[in-house]
Amino acid sequence: MPLLTLLTDFGLTDYYVAAVKGTVLRLAPGTVLVDISHEVPAGDVETASFLLAAAFPSFPAGTVHLAVVDPGVGSERRILAARAVSGWLLAPDNGLLTPLLDRVEEIRSIEKAEIFLGSPGQTFHGRDRFAPTAAWLLRGEPFTALGPIVEDPVRLPIEPPRREPKQIVGRVAHVDRYGNLVTDIPAAWLPAGACQVTVGDHAIGRRATCYAEISPGEAAFLSGSLGTVELSLNGENLAQQWGVTRGTAVRVSWSAHPEV
């Protein structure tokens, strides 16, 4: 049974999500639709990139993932289709696929215009171009027919975390709805002994294994569900309390030689 995930910044108050789903179901009947999110802040490509990469590994082989956060809709930006071992990815060429690019085997620019729907304007490629292309793949049509190979997809200008003498440097990659600070630092990089995590003007040395271990009003760091270092405040929104946003620098430091 064909499976499609949807990730957009369309929200749920307009008809946009329904129109995309209806188009897919009309062109590829029987498709199972799974919503990753439609509450991405308008035009926020980096949030969409994070959410897609976080959800991607949970789905079975053959899944088609459609992500439409597209501030450049109607412009000359390319629409990309990427083939991975576990399925396909469709997104605008604006950096949205950045964290997954190293996992794909081939990327193509979608230029098979006869797939696209006729439209009175150029403002809704989600319905008129992305959805028909998703249906093409869901029906088992050839990926290679979509267009030429792309060797230079746009990447978001984000520095990866790095190890330095007696410290690890990274960033807040995401702030979830609870105000937890999800970093890009692999939890496996942490030393076994005592260390301190600094975010902006705030530093904490309390390490926990789950949220329940954190005392009310206390901040701590732990290994989150994505295997990266996460900072949390029991019962409160840590991001608001500290005034921290995505992109804020994070530093893990220790005084003694770490046991790793």
Query: pTM of the prediction?
Result: 0.92
Domain boundary pick from 103, 119, 146: 146
Q: How far apart are CA 140 and CA 160, in angstroms?
A: 36
- Helix, strand, coil shares of the chain as percentages rounded to 5? 25, 30, 45
Flag whether 152 is in a domain: no
> Mean pLDDT score of the chain, rounded to an integer?
93
**Amino acid found at 6:** L
Tell me the pLDDT tens digit for each residue of 207-246: 998 888 888 889 999 999 999 999 999 889 999 999 999 9
Helix axes 16-27, 131-138, angle to 10 degrees: 30
30 backbone φψ class: left, alpha, beta (φ>0; ψ -120 to 50): left
pLDDT at 123: 76
Query: pLDDT, tens digit, for every residue of 57-77?
Result: 999 999 999 999 988 887 888
Please tell me the distance from the alpha carbon of residue 153 to that of residue 172, in angstroms, as a whole number. Answer: 24
Residue 6 bridge partners (DSSP): 35, 66
Band of pLDDT at residue 260, cut at 50, 70 and 90: very low
Report pLDDT digits (tens) over 104-113.
Answer: 999 999 999 9
Q: How many angstroms separate the Cα of 189 from the Cα of each of 61, 135, 162?
A: 30, 41, 10
**Residue 127 neighbours by CB under 8 Å, 6+ apart:** 16, 19, 20, 23, 117, 119
Amino acid at 101: L
Residue 151 falls inside a structural domain: no
My answer on whether 140 and 195 are in the same domain is no
Residues 85 and 213 in one domain: no
Instruction: Answer whether residue 260 is part of any domain.
Output: no
Task: State yes or no: pLDDT of 1 exceeds 90.
Answer: no
Q: What is the CATH number of the domain that holds 193?
A: 2.40.30.90
139-171: pLDDT as tens digits: 999 999 999 999 999 999 999 999 998 899 999
The H or E element containing residue 202 is strand 202-204
Domain match, 10 and 75 both = yes
In whole angstroms, what is the distance from residue 126 CA to residue 6 CA?
A: 10
Q: What mean pLDDT comes out for the span 121-128?
A: 84
Number of domains in the chain: 2
Which run of H or E residues covers position 8?
strand 3-8
What is the tens place of the pLDDT at every residue in 21-58? 999 999 999 999 999 999 999 999 999 999 999 999 99
The answer to whether residue 256 scores a pLDDT higher than 70 is no
- Rounded CA gap, 238 and 214, in Å? 13
**Confidence category of residue 88, pLDDT binned at 50, 70, 90:** very high
What is the residue range of 114's domain? 3-146
For residue 63, the domain's CATH number is: 3.40.50.10790
Query: Does residue 258 register a pLDDT over 50?
Result: no
